[in-house]
Amino acid sequence: MSTQHAVHQTLPPEPERATLEGRNKVLGFWLFLAGECVLFGSLFATFVALRDQTNGGPAAAELFQLPMVALTTVILLTSSLTSVLGILAMHRNKLAQTQAWFVVTVLLGLFFLGLEIYEFVEYYRHGHRLTSSAFGSAFYTLVGFHGGHVLFGILWISLLIAQSFKKGLTVVTAPKFYVASLYWHFVDLVWVFIFTVVYLMGMVA
Amino acid sequence: MSDLATYAERKGLWSWLTTVDHKKIAILYLLAGGFFFLLGGLEAILMRIQLMYPNSEFLSGSTFNELLTMHGTTMIFLAAMPLIFAFMNAVVPLQIGARDVAFPFINALGFWLFLFGGLLLNLSWFLGGAPDAGWTAYPPLSSGHDFSDQGIDYYVLGLQIAGIGTWIGGINFIATIVNMRAPGLTFMRLPMFTWGTFVTSVLILFAFPAITVSLVLLMFDRLFGANFFDVNAGGNVVIWQHFFWIFGHPEVYILILPAFGIISEVVATFSKKRLFGYSSMVFAMVLIGFLGFMVWAHHMFTVGMGPVANALFGISTMLIAVPTGIKVFNWLFTMWGGRIRFTTANLFAVGFIPTFVIGGTTGVMLSVPPADYQYHDSYFVVAHFHYTIVGGMAFALFAGLYYWWPKMFGTMLNETLGKWNFWLFFIGFHLTFFPQHFLGLMGMPRRIFTYQEGIGLDLGNFLSSLGAFTMGLSTVFLLINIIVTLKSGQAAPADPWDGRTLEWAVSSPAPEYNFAQMPLVRGLDALWTEKRNGDGKLLPAEPLAEIHLPSPTILPFLMSVGLFIAGLGFIYHLIPVIVGGLAVTLICMVIRSLVDDPGYHVWPRELEDPERGVDA
């Protein structure tokens, strides 16, 4: 932890915005998320248009098990909280705490992903497949895109944690943690919409 | 700490593959875009040879389908977009007084993704045939293997890769314009081309994800057996049309708004007047950008959305004529009473105005849904969009090329050859596309590969083909001009046109750090303000100091190669190739994250060698 000690004196209060590169990175990442909104918006629109086209296969209300989906939702929302705690620790320049909270975030993300894979396998057994109907195609594409985002986030945040052991918290690494946490919130937010539009609306339809 | 010497040594192929300098990336975009422009033009000429006479057997129907698909796709995605990006890269950082763009690495990555996407798409010519479902690739024509061959897979993956490149390029320019402007350069003092770049980048940001999703859906249908467009399994083909045009309509404004910016710069400079109605020009540009998102379904009037939807989309389309009209009158008023110089750049800009007005007029005609039922899918539509995209966009690109060539390359293009280029192109353009209005009204459908004799289509098609050859000839003059200029071009001064904006304050070509000191901007048309109110030199906003610049890197190139390989793997269902290609890209991303770029430092030339005089 000597690296951390060395930069301890110099880390400004909002390290992610302390340099022009950092400010560019944060702004650029917000723009990236704006584009991602359109991406997921289009996938949601596709899903809403095709969700009743079951082609004789099982419908949403027959497939979905709300207790499990509720559990995954709680897990993912909690991971958003832990990433906030990580950023708060970063702002107080506590490297070990930052790393710990982000490790918890990654673990929760892995737990979520495991449950999602289990869920997909169950649906597949019930004949709900990418190739079985337009509903199946739209469901796996939308939820799968989200799952892919979770996977990417897990890999990305793990990489940041790993390099923070060597580099510590600096004006270079802080913006990385900050935008990764923005990304993670966005992925959670998308899940809130998936929970509502795909699962809740699927149960009442 | 490396210095000037290492920069000067950086020549040869490797320096181009690894560059993150926006000025060099601009030249790469110009070369690649120019290459695809010639390719798309050649495809057009082949089609016009086929259509020159009735019942022609020069090309088969299926080859014709491939040519028309590739002509449209190439011209939009691989010629027009990158040529716009060439000027955005070459000019915008200079116009805002910045040392660099916000994300030099991403800027380079955007270029290489576009290039490898374009190469993947064009590889289809040699491997199993080019895509043949039209540039719009409507399913079910494009989705099932009954109607279309592997060419569509190349279309899907090539455009996906190129599209990601364009998208991150757009993000880069928004961040650059928001965060990197020189002190005093408020938004309402931005040059019009920078405004055009800004609004266009916002459109890119929001429009490209829609085509990303449509291409994903089509790819899943074709490669993984999904059912988005398979009506038998509950799919819906109209979803494609909506997403394609939610992207596709903003796309034409993505192309035309920077073109409007170029015209505004060129007309003002060569009229020796400030742009008439600057604030209304900005307002019109933003409004066009906004309305551009509200009109996509006017491409789908005949789909059967119903009279209410058709009427709403028709009216919102007509509304765009209002801000566009504001712009046209402002250009005319800028010239009014000005000291006009008809350089080649200005000829193209002045030629743009009436030509684009014709394209806009037919646009309003097409926006009336009942009338559109008659025009739909006829040559009238072909004439309309070529008047806006060639008569608008391409004219502006030529104007921009002659205007900014000195700044990009440090030499002056030959004006005599330039005038040949203009007049042949201007005459050839109208000869090609004006008769197509009437061909359309007489019932000639789009996308047919031949027609019968004696049904009134002979003369129009013959003239149209002659016009296409004339445009081809004019392009030869441009190529000769470029070769002559590269061999023995006259060196360009910093400010050859008596310019108004910041890019003309630095040497031609600009030094690698752009500005030795960030300039202080004191008014609209920053350089002109100093010419009129000061001594013609920019005031520095900071003391002279060592300048920090990012190091060159091969990673953007390798990442794009990785995706290119993965794309081929998807097309041929080779899982090891997919995994290998994606692994290359991901490993490059990990390296980029782990290895911090320390950059390098240079001393501005003035300090190294005070005899050279002050460039900035």
- What lies within 8 Å, CB to CB, of B286 at 6+ separation is B199
| Number of residues that make up chain B | 616
pLDDT at residue B12 in the model? 86
A162 → chain B, closest CA residue: B594
Q: What is the pLDDT of residues B349-402, one digit of tens each?
A: 999 999 999 999 999 999 999 999 999 999 999 999 999 999 999 999 999 999
- Closest Cα of chain B to A77: distance in Å? 26
Backbone CA torsion sign across B257, B260, B264, B265: positive
> What share of chain A in percent tops pLDDT 90?
86
Report residue B7's pLDDT band, with 50, 70 and 90 as the boundaries.
Answer: low
pLDDT at residue B3 in the model? 44
Report residue A204's pLDDT band, with 50, 70 and 90 as the boundaries.
Answer: confident
Backbone angles phi, psi at B600, to 5 degrees: -145, 165
> Within 10 A of B237 (CB to CB), how many other CB atoms are there?
17
pLDDT at residue B614 in the model? 46
pLDDT at residue B10 in the model? 64
DSSP assignments along B432-462, one per residue: HHHHHHHHHHTTPBTT-S---TTSS-HHHHH
Q: What is the pLDDT of residues B404-461, one digit of tens each?
A: 999 999 999 999 999 999 999 999 999 999 999 999 999 999 999 999 999 999 999 9
Report residue B611's pLDDT band, with 50, 70 and 90 as the boundaries.
Answer: very low
Neighbour-count burial for A27-53, b at 16+ CB within 10 Å, e otherwise: bbbebbbebbebbbbbbbbbbebbbeb
Contact B314, B368 (CB under 8 A): yes
Report residue B145's pLDDT band, with 50, 70 and 90 as the boundaries.
Answer: confident
- Closest Cα of chain B to A140: distance in Å? 10
Q: Angle formed by the axes of helices A95-125 and A66-91, to 10°? A: 160
The type of residue at B236 is N
Which tokens sit at A175?
Answer: 């913006």
Which tokens sit at B567?
Answer: 């794309």
What DSSP state is assigned to residue B600? E
Residue A136 at interface with chain B, using a CB cutoff of 8 Å: yes
Residue A160 at interface with chain B, using a CB cutoff of 8 Å: yes
pLDDT at residue A1 in the model? 35
- What lies within 8 Å, CB to CB, of B395 at 6+ separation is B259, B348, B349, B351, B352, B355, B356, B425
Size of interface A-B (CB pairs under 8 A): 112
DSSP tally for chain B: helices H, then strands E: 22, 6
Which tokens sit at B47?
Answer: 């089609």
Cross-chain Cβ contact B227/A27 below 8 Å: no
Strand partners, B520: B539
> Within 10 A of B97 (CB to CB), how many other CB atoms are there?
28
Residue the block writes with tokens 């030959």? B414
Q: Which of residues 8-27 of A touch B (CB under 8 A)?
A: 20, 23-24, 27
The type of residue at B450 is T
Task: Please tell me whether residue B137 adopts helix, strand or coil conformation.
Answer: coil
Q: Region A136-143: what's the mean pLDDT?
A: 97
Q: Is residue A145 scored above 50 in pLDDT?
A: yes
Backbone angles phi, psi at B355, to 5 degrees: -65, -45
| SS3 per residue for A127-171 | CCCCCCCHHHHHHHHHHHHHHHHHHHHHHHHHHHHHHHHHHCCCC
Q: Angle formed by the axes of helices B151-179 and B104-123, to 10°? A: 160
Cross-chain Cβ contact B179/A137 below 8 Å: no
pLDDT at residue B606 in the model? 59
Q: What is the pLDDT of residues B50-78, one digit of tens each?
A: 999 999 999 999 999 999 999 999 999 99
- Closest Cα of chain A to B294: distance in Å? 15
Cross-chain Cβ contact B234/A135 below 8 Å: yes
How many Å apart are CA A88 and CA A100, to the nearest integer? 12
Cross-chain Cβ contact A38/B209 below 8 Å: yes
- What ipTM goes with this model? 0.94
Q: Is residue B613 scored above 60 in pLDDT?
A: no
Residue A34 at interface with chain B, using a CB cutoff of 8 Å: yes
Q: What is the pLDDT of residues B287-318, one digit of tens each?
A: 999 999 999 999 999 999 999 999 999 999 99
pLDDT at residue B9 in the model? 54
Q: What is the pLDDT of residues B460-484, one digit of tens each?
A: 999 999 999 999 999 999 999 999 9
Contact A58, A127 (CB under 8 A): yes
Task: Please tell me whether residue B128 adopts helix, strand or coil conformation.
Answer: coil
Report residue A205's pLDDT band, with 50, 70 and 90 as the boundaries.
Answer: low
- Closest Cα of chain B to A68: distance in Å? 26
Q: Is residue B489 scored above 90 in pLDDT?
A: no
Q: Region A109-121: what's the mean pLDDT?
A: 97
Q: Mean pLDDT, chain B, as a whole number?
A: 94
Task: Select from B103, B171, B212 the residue whose CB has the most chain A CBs within 10 Å, as the one to mutate to test that interface.
Answer: B171
- Closest Cα of chain B to A177: distance in Å? 12
pLDDT at residue B612 in the model? 45
Q: What is the pLDDT of residues A64-111, one digit of tens each?
A: 989 999 999 999 999 999 999 999 999 999 999 999 999 999 999 999
Cross-chain Cβ contact B179/A20 below 8 Å: yes
Strand pairing category for B519-520 and B539-540: antiparallel
Q: What is the pLDDT of residues B203-260, one digit of tens each?
A: 999 999 999 999 999 999 999 999 999 999 999 999 999 999 999 999 999 999 999 9
Which tokens sit at B610?
Answer: 């005070």
Backbone angles phi, psi at B132, to 5 degrees: -140, 20
| Number of residues that make up chain A | 205
Residue A28 at interface with chain B, using a CB cutoff of 8 Å: yes
Cross-chain Cβ contact B234/A172 below 8 Å: no
Q: Region A151-177: what's the mean pLDDT?
A: 96
